[in-house]
Amino acid sequence: MNLDELKRSLAITPVSEWRAYEAIGSTNDEALVWLEEGAPDFSLVIADQQTKGRGRFQRRWITQPGASLAFTVLFRLNQAEQRQPISLYAPLAGLAVRQALEDQLGLQAQIKWPNDILLARKKTCGILVEGSWLGEHLQGIVVGIGINITAASLPEGAEVGQFPATWLEAHTPSAVDRFDLLAGVLNALRDWRQDFATPQFFATWQAHLAFMGEEVRIEQMEKEPIIGKATGIDSQGNLLLLLSDGQEIAVEVGDVHLRTTAEHTPEGRNHA
């Protein structure tokens, strides 16, 4: 990792303090410890390589050196932010990543509920939000973001496994500068935080929601799957589904997987 280039990029962002590592287990784990030690709001942990990176449901995702952009932003919440569901920080990060990809690379990405960014219906970025609690008091949260930059960022079998994946440079005519993109995401994150949980926040999220108007399948732990047409999201960040009987329901963020129904046919199995 070129620290001089990183410093130049961070100089134009609102980052308070930062820690950079050539290799680390997980940027989220390091950020949670730092948060408990008193790290200021909007601090950053970034690593060139993660050996114990993870996503939802503790799925492992190893970051190869120089292939991805893997970082975590720490948040100290104000009173207004504390009243909002923690789950809304995933779309907050999603809006920031989507905007940076469009502004800097001209890419039209979509936000897959609840926490992925898609290009051409394939995952190019994952987001993991975790809270730090002291008893019943929420001390703060950490937002981990992992963006696939080069082909080396994909684990073996990612194109044929349960989730199709891609990388940024498969969609750009030239190499992507990781630290320029980092600065773009951080600045967009600052801007969207000012509109956190506002009508504009939800409207923009819904405007870029993947699979809108399509039939999707919600798979739940130890429950029957739910099939319905994705119609939007509500003010709590729940996914709205229109069922075949005309009933509209809200699916909460939790132990659920979203799939398109095409995934359950041999021709469409790669739509995850």
Confidence of residue 161 (pLDDT cuts 50, 70, 90): very low
Q: Which residues contact 143 (CB under 8 A, 6 or more apart)?
A: 72, 73, 75, 89, 90, 92, 93, 127, 128, 129
Six-digit token string for 92: 């907050």
pLDDT for 159 beyond 90: no
**Domains, the chain, ordered by start:** 3-207 (3.30.930.10), 215-268 (2.30.30.100)
- Average pLDDT rounded to a whole number, residues 196-215: 97
Confidence of residue 220 (pLDDT cuts 50, 70, 90): confident
Model pLDDT, residue 62? 65
Q: Is the pLDDT of residue 95 over 60?
A: yes
pLDDT in tens, 61-90: 567 788 999 999 999 999 899 989 999 999
What is the overall mean pLDDT for the chain?
89
To the nearest whole percent, how much of the chain has pLDDT over 70? 89
CB 130 within 8 A of CB 141: yes
pLDDT of residue 123: 94
Confidence of residue 57 (pLDDT cuts 50, 70, 90): very low
Edge-first strand listing for the sheet containing 215-220:
248-251, 239-242, 226-233, 215-220, 256-260
Look at residue 260 in the predicted model and tell me its pLDDT.
82
> Cα 234–148–267 angle (5° rounding)?
70
Q: Which of 54, 55, 89, 53 is nearest to 73 (CA)?
A: 89
Burial class (CB in 10 A: 0-12, 13-18, 19+), 78: exposed
Per-residue confidence (pLDDT) for residue 256, from 0 to 100: 74
